[in-house]
């Protein structure tokens, strides 16, 4: 079978036949094998129907929007990511999975022919996995699914769960052959490019993990790993994954000074033209100054801390084949369609927000899969730098040999889910829905989910969100809030907000969105009567909400925004990276949009609109989708 000028692989053909038969499909196939082409077929086939393409992160949603508008036209495609709404009535809608889940949960969506879940293995995510489960559970009966993932060892189990709860046929298509063979190597400080077995032969000589640290028994010296030596031995272009943003920048600068590459005047010219179109302050950013040093040598870095302009510039140069080595963080491995000949790991350990740990096999292969470009390379290469001080042969062997991590349910009932179940379903329907989770299917424990529902319902009744098995006005409000439902309800569905002005409203929302980090600094804070008054109101209300401790800190971000200062003036007030500030204000816009949609108070709606305009104005010219 031929489609879009390609002779289809068997797995693509099987998926298309299943779609023609109006079945749901779960596709497990290696990165770069052409899974997206199946999604294209669905969009082409259902031009007159609603098709939704969901992605786990906004960056991927934005990329897909650009791809699809180029392919199908801007009038045919829409984008919804919480803070961005473009052409929401389009037949083909691209959105984050959270947005789709919210829409089906609140029944705020019309008939949908197909939902495409890209990177469906995110159902494994401890914090967000329940979103994918609920998206499937609450989808309408006529909706069909295309679930895409690089590897799902238990794909048949997952398909069987969907078939059971949705009552239609679900086909499982497993394709294991990579279009470009992958060769795995490891880099040791002494041995250079080698194998795990060769490292193991010398690494255990003493077992570094159990040497007693004392003045009398010193740890044996280990030659430090040198990433420049690794780059000398690999085939280019290469992605070099470093789980630290700062590490990406340090590595790029280090490599640019090593003399491996000659300056490329084509890159320098392109860079000058791009920066000439940007606000002049962009040139003063630390990240821009480093990129101006490294880019002429075909060396770049890419992470969420950069402003969109610089990320796009790097992506464009890479797409033109002008980048030799791109240092990047893990998010670049999620769906971004930019493969390289070689993938390197600075380490196979990462900090997950709580602890440092080794990657699991799914994480390793998700990143390693970026090596090898179909139609360009005959083979791809992946190499991980190995620190002998935490060398664990058995663990590393299991991680890098095969993706054996099954997808497991992370199901949990949020406050929002409980409110919407009570709002939209009868007792009998709720009982049935509670038994539909992937958790129940995998583990058989119906009581756990039911007990969780009862416990949360009692808590909400005590707080005044439910009365006589119905939602109160406060409950109705919070059923449209998707994070911090209770504290948001206590502020904006009671009389508390009546006494807030727009500055104070922005301050409250900033506190709700702020995620404290150990090394965050605020260099300038702004005292005012508005702040003093707000502190007193919060104290009198006795909110049990620790985030209001950061009211003083939030003035560093909110005060200059409220008084019309530009993005770069806000940037001077903190050690936040520029991309993090953009993300923070985007989160505020998302929350404000939820509150505006949830309230019936026209005055509050207008205040929110004014606050949104302030933030949009501050971000104008510096942010883009």
> Whole-angstrom Cα distance, residue 568 to residue 476?
39
pLDDT at 572: 94
Q: Say how many CA atoms lie within 13 Å of 472 toward its Cβ.
A: 15
Write the pLDDT tens digit of every residue in 16-58. Answer: 999 999 999 999 998 888 898 999 999 999 989 999 999 998 8
* Three-class secondary structure of residue 211 per DSSP: coil
Write the pLDDT tens digit of every residue in 588-616. Answer: 999 999 999 999 999 999 999 999 999 99
> Whole-angstrom Cα distance, residue 485 to residue 25?
34
Q: Which helix (H) or strand (E) holds 170?
A: strand 170-174
pLDDT higher than 60, residue 219: no
Strands 299-302 and 114-117: unpaired
* % of the chain beyond a pLDDT of 90: 79
Is there a contact between 220 and 417 (Cβ–Cβ < 8 Å)? no
Write the pLDDT tens digit of every residue in 462-476. Answer: 999 999 999 999 999
More confident residue, 559 or 447: 559
> Whole-angstrom Cα distance, residue 98 to residue 570?
29
pLDDT at 205: 59
Closest by CA to 245, choosing from 308, 320, 305, 197, is 305
Strands 51-55 and 114-117: parallel
* Three-class secondary structure of residue 250 per DSSP: helix
pLDDT at 206: 54
Mean pLDDT, the chain, integer: 92
Termini Cα distance of the chain: 36
Q: Helices marked H in 234-279 — which ranges?
A: 245-256, 265-276
- Average pLDDT score over residue span 418-430: 96
pLDDT at 169: 97
Convert 365-385 into a string of H (helix), E (strand) and C (coil): HHHHCCECCCCCCCCEEEEEE
Report CA torsion sign: 135, 164, 39, 10. positive
pLDDT higher than 60, residue 403: yes
Write the pLDDT tens digit of every residue in 233-250. Answer: 999 999 999 999 999 999
Write the pLDDT tens digit of every residue in 150-194. Answer: 889 999 999 999 999 999 999 999 999 888 999 999 999 999 999
Q: Which residue has the tokens 């609603």?
A: 50
pLDDT at 625: 47
* List of residues 6+ apart from 228 with CB closer than 8 A: 254, 255, 258, 260
Q: Which residue has the tokens 């994918």?
A: 132
Is there a contact between 342 and 184 (Cβ–Cβ < 8 Å)? no
pLDDT at 6: 78
Write the pLDDT tens digit of every residue in 281-323. Answer: 999 999 999 999 999 999 999 999 999 999 999 999 999 999 9
- Length of the chain, please? 625
> Whole-angstrom Cα distance, residue 172 to residue 160?
9
pLDDT higher than 90, residue 213: no
> Whole-angstrom Cα distance, residue 595 to residue 490?
12
Q: And the tokens for 222?
A: 């280990």
pLDDT at 473: 97
* Residue 529 burial by Cβ neighbours in a 10 Å radius (0-12, 13-18, 19+): exposed
**Greatest distance between any 2 Cα atoms in the chain:** 77
List the Cα angle 549/550/556 in 5-degree steps.
155
- Average pLDDT score over residue span 255-272: 96
Closest by CA to 364, choosing from 121, 24, 7, 53, is 121
Is there a contact between 91 and 68 (Cβ–Cβ < 8 Å)? no
Whole-prediction pTM value?
0.91
Residue 60 backbone dihedrals phi, psi, to 5 degrees = -75, -40
pLDDT at 60: 85
Confidence of residue 335 (pLDDT cuts 50, 70, 90): low
């Amino acid at each position: 079978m031929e489609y879009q000028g390609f002779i289809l692989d068997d797995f693509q053909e099987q998926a298309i036949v299943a779609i023609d038969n109006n079945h749901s499909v779960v596709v497990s196939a290696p990165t770069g094998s052409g899974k997206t082409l199946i999604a294209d077929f669905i969009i082409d086939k259902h031009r007159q129907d609603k098709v939704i393409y969901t992605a786990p992160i906004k960056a991927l949603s934005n990329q897909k929007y650009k791809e699809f508008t180029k392919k199908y036209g801007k009038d045919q495609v829409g984008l919804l990511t919480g803070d961005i709404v473009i052409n929401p009535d389009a037949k083909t809608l691209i959105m984050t999975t959270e947005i789709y889940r919210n829409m089906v949960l609140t029944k705020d969506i019309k008939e949908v022919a197909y939902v495409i879940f890209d990177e469906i293995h995110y159902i494994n995510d401890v914090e967000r996995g329940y979103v994918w489960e609920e998206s499937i559970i609450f989808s309408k009966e006529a909706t069909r699914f295309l679930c895409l993932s690089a590897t799902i060892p238990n794909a048949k189990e997952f398909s069987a769960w969907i078939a059971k709860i949705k009552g239609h046929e679900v086909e499982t298509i497993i394709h294991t052959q990579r279009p470009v063979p992958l060769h795995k190597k490891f880099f040791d400080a002494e041995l250079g490019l080698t194998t795990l077995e060769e490292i193991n032969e010398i690494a255990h000589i003493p077992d570094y993990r159990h040497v007693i640290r004392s003045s009398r028994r010193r740890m044996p010296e280990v030659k430090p790993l040198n990433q420049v030596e690794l780059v000398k031995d690999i085939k280019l272009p290469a992605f070099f994954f470093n789980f630290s943003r700062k590490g990406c920048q340090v590595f790029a600068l280090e490599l640019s000074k090593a003399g491996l590459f000659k300056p490329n005047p084509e890159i320098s010219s392109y860079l000058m033209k791009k920066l000439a179109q940007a606000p002049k302050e962009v040139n003063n950013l630390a990240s821009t100054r480093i990129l101006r040093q490294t880019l002429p040598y075909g060396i770049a870095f890419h992470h969420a801390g950069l402003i969109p302009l610089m990320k796009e510039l790097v992506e464009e140069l890479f797409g033109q084949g002008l980048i030799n080595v791109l240092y990047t963080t893990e998010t670049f491995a999620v769906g971004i369609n930019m493969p390289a000949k070689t993938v390197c790991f600075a380490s196979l350990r990462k900090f997950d927000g709580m602890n440092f740990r080794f990657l699991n096999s799914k994480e390793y292969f998700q990143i390693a899969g970026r090596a090898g470009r179909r139609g360009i390379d005959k083979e791809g290469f992946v190499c991980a730098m190995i620190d002998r001080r935490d060398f664990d042969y058995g663990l590393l062997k299991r991680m890098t040999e095969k993706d054996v991590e099954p997808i497991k349910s992370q199901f949990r009932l949020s406050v929002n889910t409980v409110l919407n179940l009570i709002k939209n379903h009868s007792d009998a329907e709720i009982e049935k829905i509670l038994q539909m989770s992937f958790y129940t299917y995998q583990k058989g424990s119906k009581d756990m989910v039911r007990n969780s529902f009862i416990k949360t319902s009692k808590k909400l009744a005590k707080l005044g969100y439910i009365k006589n098995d119905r939602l109160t006005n406060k409950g109705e409000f919070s059923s449209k809030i998707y994070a911090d439902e209770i504290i948001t309800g206590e502020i904006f569905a009671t009389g508390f907000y009546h006494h807030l002005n727009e500055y104070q409203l922005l301050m409250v929302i900033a506190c709700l969105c702020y995620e404290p980090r150990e090394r965050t600094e605020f260099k300038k804070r702004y005292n005012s009567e508005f702040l003093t008054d707000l502190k007193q109101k919060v104290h009198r209300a006795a909110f049990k909400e620790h985030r209001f401790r950061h009211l003083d800190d939030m003035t560093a971000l909110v005060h200059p925004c409220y008084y019309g200062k530009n993005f770069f003036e806000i940037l001077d007030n903190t050690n936040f990276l520029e991309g993090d500030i953009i993300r923070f204000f985007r989160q505020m816009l998302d929350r404000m949009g939820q509150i505006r949609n949830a309230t019936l108070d026209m005055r509050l709606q207008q205040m929110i609109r004014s606050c949104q305009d302030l933030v949009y104005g501050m971000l104008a010219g510096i942010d883009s989708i």
